[in-house]
Structure 1
Amino acid sequence: METKVKYMWVVVFVVSMSIAGLNGVDATHDYYGPCGKHDIEKEAQKLAPCTYAAKYRRAPVSERCCAIIEKKLNNPGCLCAILQTRTVYDAGVRPEVAVTIPKRCNIAVRPVGHNCGGFPFV
């Protein structure tokens, strides 16, 4: 009889852990941030070609920067999260200037009015 009880507890444990594991896999979409599984600080480093243009409103924007920004605009929430990272802050980027880059690049499809940390895209 004692063996059956031990066996039953093992089965209960395995079933409960399986259920918990399945729920964990289902709920991971809430765990990741606005950039999905990508590290936001590493994503911020990819915007290095835009640093000068994001500091000064009248600075020319390089073609490489425009290409990167156009790609990042597929997920404006991610771009906004990047603009609020420590990496961007340490680089001296001004978010109110950075949100003007899509317009300065003449990107046709941009999130006009999307609020990005208090600064709307233009």
Structure 2
Amino acid sequence: MASKMTTSFATLIVWLLASQVFFDLAGAAGECGKTPIQSAAANLSPCLAAGGNAMAKVPPTCCTKVNALIKTAPRCLCAVLLSPTAKQAGIKPGIAITIPKRCNIKNRPVGKKCGRYTVP
């Protein structure tokens, strides 16, 4: 009887620890805080053409959104540009990383690395 009780107690402890790890991971903030990268990428949809073509004019709405993202979560911009979602949308990271410069954003993270790319 004691052995069965000990096994049940050990199982309960393992379950509690595992569930705590699960809840910690589920509530963890990533590069974009608690915003999923797909949502952050969707927010930058005005930048689609400029992110795939270096000659495309960057729309003012794109510049506004990129500037806001750089101020609040600069790592998020890099995470979005390197995400599978962005690649599926036709974004080329080497071109997209130039958007802050093309928008004339003064406080952009010049010289910072974004994957294998450096912010101009």
Q: TM class, shorter-chain normalised?
A: 0.7 to 0.9
Mark the CA change 1:98 to 1:31 in structure 2 (over 3 Å): closer, same or farther: same
Paired with 2:107 and 2:23, the residues of 1 have a C-alpha distance of 34
What stretches of structure 1 move > 6 A for 4+ residues in a row? 21-26
Deviations, residues 44-97 of structure 1 (Å, cap 9, x unaligned): 111110010111112111100000000111322111111122221111111001
Q: TM-score, normalised by structure 1?
A: 0.75
CA root-mean-square deviation: 2.8
The verdict on how the C-alpha distance between 1:114 and 1:23 changes in structure 2, with shifts beyond 3 A counting, is same
**1:84/1:25 CA distance change after superposition, 3 Å:** same
Q: Which runs of 5+ in 2 are unaligned?
A: 1-18
8 A Cα contact 2:28 2:34, kept in partner: no
Q: What percent of counterpart residues are identical?
A: 40
CA apart distance, 1:42: 1.2
Matches within 5 A, 1:1-122: 31-73=28-70, 74-122=72-120
Unaligned runs of 5+ in 1: 1-20
Contact 1:41/1:86, CA 8 A, preserved across alignment: no
Aligned length: 118
